[in-house]
Amino acid sequence: MIQKLVDTTVSKGRAERELDLSPRFEKFLRKKFKETEIKQIDLEALIKKYHLKGVVFGNYMSQEERYFYCFKTFKQIECLAKLKGSNDIGAGILILSIGAHGIGGNVLAHFSPRENIINLSRGRKDDYSDFMKGENSFVHEYGHFIDFYQGRMKDKTLMHNFASENKNPDWKNQITTGFSAPVIEVKSDESYTKHLRTPYLKSNIEVFARLFEAAITHYVHAHAPAYNAFFPRTYTEGIYYPKSKILKKGYDKKIVSVLRSSL
Ligand SMILES: [Zn+2]
């Protein structure tokens, strides 16, 4: 199948490339995601549908890498939209950047609030099943985006950039407290916070994004298992609030409510 995926935020021409996806790559996609038919991706249509501003790629990204990231990330977006009950995922401002804005080191992904960009870094190209890791982090970074959108753009009286940074349990904006209250609760659990050894891991912003990522994943596994292949992680790691407690304390449903109230 011939597929062409190019930046949507710049004029076309220079970066335009058209390549066949190899039979080996298509076989990998069918096996990993149990897809019977590998379809063309219409990037412009997806951007419009989910109200994104655009998608950009690193120049060194092959068409197969572009296809893989878009295929997987837009399946995650499709699932988030279903949970949210709305296709407005990007508020018309969110840019998805794939393999273009690496910040070095082992960072697989990050959210840049200044430009409203979610960057998914390019992984190692040893094997299809291993080389594209940044795409697993989209949901985490999306948690940062809606947290920032609520704190900076929606709640005009909040003196923080991110809603999760609110420390007042009686804050009058209840959408903001939807972000901050679960963070305050899980940070009162010492059996969890003992794993958070750096100021970055301890920050409300990071605790919220990890809780968002893990809680959404559990909710998908329980209520939308058709998407399981796109939410493969299990979150037993110490820096994530443990799955057993997320389920016991109902954070999966609380976080889905946060997603529904966002934007
Ligand atoms: Zn983060």
Higher-confidence position of 6 and 244: 244
- Residue 4's pLDDT band (cuts 50, 70, 90): confident
Same domain, 85 and 110: yes
Q: In this predicted model, what pLDDT tens digit does every residue of 23-67 receive, in sequence order?
A: 888 888 888 888 888 888 999 999 999 999 999 988 878 888 888
**Could you tell me which residues are beta bridge partners of residue 56?**
97
Q: Ligand 1 centre and the CA of 235: distance in Å?
A: 15
Q: Give the burial class of 123: count Cβ atoms within 10 A of its Cβ; 0-12 exposed, 13-18 middle, 19 or more buried.
A: middle
Shared domain check, 124 and 7? yes
How far is the centre of ligand 1, averaged over its atoms, from the C-alpha of 162 (Å)? 12
Give Cα 154 to chain centroid, integer Å: 20
- Which range, 118-132, 228-242, 245-259, is most confident? 245-259
Residue 136: pLDDT over 80 = no
Same domain, 152 and 130: no
Predicted confidence at residue 123, as pLDDT, reads: 62
High-pLDDT (> 70) share of the chain, %:
87
Total of domains in the chain: 2
Is the whole-model pTM more than 0.95? no
Q: Which of 91-105, 218-232, 235-249 has the lowest mean pLDDT?
A: 91-105
109 CA to middle of ligand 1, Å? 8
Residue 211 pLDDT: 96
Q: Are 166 and 122 in the same domain?
A: no
Contact 173, 156 (CB under 8 A): no
Ligand 1 centroid–CA 42 distance in Å is: 29
Q: Tell whether 37 and 52 lie within a shared domain.
A: yes
Predicted confidence band of residue 163 (pLDDT cuts 50, 70, 90): very high
Distance 205 CA to ligand 1 centre (A): 7
Range of the domain at 6: 2-136
157 and 130 inside one domain: no
- Does the pLDDT at position 104 exceed 70? no
Report the alpha-carbon distance of residue 73 to residue 134 in Å, rounded.
10
Distance separating alpha carbons of residues 171 and 76, to the nearest angstrom: 32
**Contacts with 99 (C-beta within 8 Å, 6 or more apart), sequence order:** 57, 58, 60, 61, 65, 69, 120, 121, 122, 134
* pLDDT per residue as tens digits for the range 196-218: 999 999 999 999 999 999 999 99
In this structure, the answer to whether residues 163 and 242 fall within a common structural domain is: yes
* Paired sense of beta strands 117-120 and 95-98, if any: parallel
Query: Does the pLDDT value for residue 234 go beyond 90?
Result: no
* Mean pLDDT across the chain: 88
Looking at 136, 156, 176, the residue that finishes a domain is 136
Which pLDDT value is given to residue 130? 54
End-of-domain residue from the set 113, 136, 159: 136
Domain match, 188 and 63 both: no
Based on the domain organization, do 75 and 173 belong to the same domain? Answer: no
> In this predicted structure, what is the pLDDT of residue 14?
46
Please say which residue of 136, 153, 180 terminates a domain.
Answer: 136
- Going from the Cα of 199 to the center of ligand 1, the distance in angstroms, rounded, reads 12
